[in-house]
Structure 1
Amino acid sequence: MSLQLLLPVILIFGVMFMMTRSQKKKQEAASQMRNEMQPGTGVRTIGGMYATVKEIQEDTVLLEVAPGVHAVYAKNAIGAVLDDAEYNRIVHGDTEEPDSPVVPDDASSLTDGHAAGDEKIDLDKKFTAADADAEETPAKDVEAKDAKNDGDTGAK
């Protein structure tokens, strides 16, 4: 066999090994998460339902989905084990401040919403042809027009 024929086969097996290795790590992490569940822990099922763990069996979990309403689920149907603060925030709407500060996705909280030198834009203002002319006129001419218009009564 030549090296040209052997190299693609080795490459394919290498890629397959890396893919199965990462999948196995994910499965082990999920299994460890499910094994760390304790009664009273808040969980989210793979269907998106939030519940509290009541009992843990070998392959099943008894969940309280509402006060007094219990359901039996397979252990592998648990999508995530939630900490108490997150579970209470999602299910009960608790708005307690988290221990760590919340960082926004953008830098909008760093300013008051306007960059230095920006002025607020009135969205109700209609743009007219006179406004377009004012934008093209140099600043001195605009000031002269404003001074001239100050004496006008506004009637045209």
Structure 2
Amino acid sequence: MSLMTLLPFIVLIGAMFLMTRSAKKKQQQAAHMRDQMTPGTGVRTIGGMYATVKEIGDDTVTLEVAPGVHAIYAKNAIGAVLEDAEYNRIVHGIGDEAETDTPVVPDDASSLTEAPKADLTKDADEAPKLDLGKKDEAPEADEPKGDEPKDGKSDGEAGAK
């Protein structure tokens, strides 16, 4: 066999070796990160939930997801162990004083649906009238009404008159 025939296989084996090595390195980093957990540490799960570590077992970890609410997760479900300052900033909003340029988002949509406040400085007679596009005159008898088809058929079938 020639070297040109074996070259693709050599490249493929080399690429597989590098990918396996990279995956092992990532697994080792994740295991090291999980070893940094102690009770009271803030974590983020791989699903994006933030919680506080309460107990650590061999393969599981008990997380406090809300005050007084505990859940048991696999250690592999921990995506990141957070520093106290970062956890408090994300979960409790502590330390966000520097970010005053961010807009305030309301908790509900009531401010988006409320009617605008009337201008109390104007007289009630001067209030602008709202035009809803309705005509003041009644429709004539030979004009078709809004939902009625022009050909007089209501079932949608086509046919000759």
User: For residue 48 of structure 1, what is the aligned residue in structure 2?
Assistant: 48
Structure 1: give runs of 5+ residues left out of the alignment. Answer: 99-156
Give me the identity figure in percent: 74
2:94 matched to which residue of 1?
Answer: 94
Distance 2:20 2:4 in 1: 25
1:150 corresponding residue in structure 2? none
CA distance in 2, matches of 1:55, 1:31: 17
Which residue number in structure 2 is paired with residue 15 of structure 1?
15
State the TM-score, normalizing by the size of structure 2: 0.59
SS in 1 for 2:58: coil
Rounded to whole Å, the distance in 2 between the matches of 1:57 and 1:79 is: 17
Deviation at residue 15 of structure 1 after TM alignment? 0.7
Structure 1 residue 23, shift from structure 2 partner: 1.1
CA RMSD of aligned residues (A): 1.6
Larger fraction in helix = 1
2:64 corresponding residue in structure 1? 64
State the shift of 1:95 in Å: 1.8
1:76-116 deviation line (CA, Å, top 9, x unaligned): 00000000000000000012679xxxxxxxxxxxxxxxxxx
Provide the secondary structure at the position in 1 that maps to 2:40: coil
1:16-63 per-residue CA deviation (whole Å, 9 max, x = no partner) reads 111111111111100111112101000000110000000000000000
Is 1:27 matched up with 2:27? yes
Count of residue pairs brought into register by the alignment = 99
In structure 2, the residue corresponding to 1:34 is in which secondary structure? helix
Return the letter of the residue paired with 1:84: D
Aligned match of 1:141: none
Q: What amino acid is aligned across from residue 16 of structure 1 in structure 2?
A: M
- Name the amino acid aligned to 2:20: T
Distance 2:95 2:58 in 1: 36
Residue equivalent to 1:128: none
What SS is found at the alignment partner of 1:40? coil
Whole-angstrom CA distance in 2 between matches of 1:6 and 1:16: 16
TM-score, normalised relative to structure 1 = 0.60
CA distance in 2, matches of 1:97, 1:40: 24
User: Which has the larger displacement, 14-23 or 83-92?
Assistant: 14-23
1:73 alignment partner AA? Y
Runs of 4+ displaced beyond 2 Å: none
